[in-house]
Amino acid sequence: MTAPSDDSENIADTEEIRGMNALLGMELVEWRDGYARTEIEVGAKHLNHGGLVHGGLSLALLDVTSVYTGYWAPRDQERALCVTLSLTTNFIGKAPTEGRLVCEAWRDGGGRSIFFARGEVRDAAGELVATSKSTHRVRSGSR
């Protein structure tokens, strides 16, 4: 899939990744109105007891990246805070045990307080690993 047209500013460099997302090693690579892209370098800390990438890594990427699609704001404006209400994920392929995972998400609609998003996780070769559809709420009083 392709990102939306360049009619809005990419401000990924202004957002600090914190908390669990930083611990996992997520990087916000691109962030515009209605679109976000995160990446992560897969390592030993992301593997489950069977030596495969834990499915929770794809879930976390999809959740975080989808939320970003709903609270983008220009550099000079305050950003809203959002929470995930529902996240449905389909695991399509096997995630690599090394290399990069790329997650892209697009806002699919909604209004001022509730919005919808869809996301995809792909490996470095572009093979689909997981997809999602999600519903999010802008936290009241956060705009």
Contact indicator for 91, 52 with CB cutoff of 8 Å:
no
Per residue in 68-124, pLDDT (tens digit) is 998 877 777 777 789 999 999 999 999 989 999 999 999 999 988 999 999 999 999
DSSP string, 57-104: HHHHHHHHHHHHTTS---TTSPPP-EEEEEEEEEE-SPPPSSEEEEEE
**Higher per-residue pLDDT: 6 or 129:** 129
Domains of the chain: 12-138 (3.10.129.10)
pTM: 0.85
Query: Look-up: residue for tokens 């360049």?
Result: 6
DSSP letter, residue 49: T
Contact indicator for 20, 139 with CB cutoff of 8 Å:
no
